[in-house]
Amino acid sequence: MSSDPRSVDRPPAALRAEALEELLTERGLVKTEVLDGFINRYVNDVGPLNGAKVVAKAWVDPDYRERLLADGTGAIKELGFAGPQGEHIVVVENTDEVHNLVVCTLCSCYPWPVLGLPPDWYKDPAYRSRAVREPRALLAEMGLQLADDIGIKVWDSSAENRYFVLPRRPAHTESLSEEELAALVTRDAMVGVAEVVS
């Protein structure tokens, strides 16, 4: 067993990736800033942008919205977003009465094709446990205050099903194009820890 303190409670794949990164940077083959930039882009831009396009399409096309809610994986694939971690995506819709929140209590199952890499807070044990025990308090701490009469439904992602939230469309956005609507949608809204604002 390794005595390296970095290996405690770290999955073997994470340790291998870290070792590979160290080796490549030591030999001057890659720069840490380049890797950090690539990861940041995938976490915050590329992946979430795919999901934002799905949401905007559902907001402007009622037929697509129906297909998305009936068969998330198939409807998402229609827009060209598929691949590992996206085989079984279930889409749940926020309404005036119900707000959906996604968590993975066992690890960090996440629909990569539409959200990119999971953020650190999504993998944090505190988020994973509090999302189930006290979702309203957790959401408030994350900046989302929901009215008491709005119910919260928590969805536990797994290898069998990864959940994706179809957020409510903000009011007064009827004149916006699909592209303009997509620009409003954030990763956090598609996980359920935020709402879309115009």
Q: 157 exposed, middle or buried (CB, 10 Å; 0-12, 13-18, 19+)?
A: buried
pLDDT per residue as tens digits for the range 20-48 = 888 888 888 888 888 777 676 666 656 79
Residues with catalytic roles: 104, 107-109
pTM of the model: 0.80
Please give the annotated binding residues for Fe(3+), written as ranges.
Answer: 104, 107-109
Confirm whether 178 is domain-assigned.
yes
Confirm whether 5 is domain-assigned.
no
153 CB neighbour count, 10 Å cutoff: 13
Domain holding 39, by residue range, is: 10-191
Q: For residues 24 and 53, what is the distance between their CA atoms, to the nearest angstrom?
A: 35
pLDDT per residue as tens digits for the range 85-134 = 888 999 999 999 999 999 999 888 999 899 988 888 999 999 999 999 99
The predicted pLDDT at position 13 comes to 65
Q: Domain tally for the chain?
A: 1
Please give the annotated binding residues, written as ranges.
Answer: 104, 107-109
Average the pLDDT over 124-151 and give the result.
Answer: 97
pLDDT at 151 over 50: yes
Confirm whether 111 is domain-assigned.
yes
Confirm whether 197 is domain-assigned.
no
Confirm whether 119 is domain-assigned.
yes
Confirm whether 165 is domain-assigned.
yes
CATH number at residue 157: 3.90.330.10
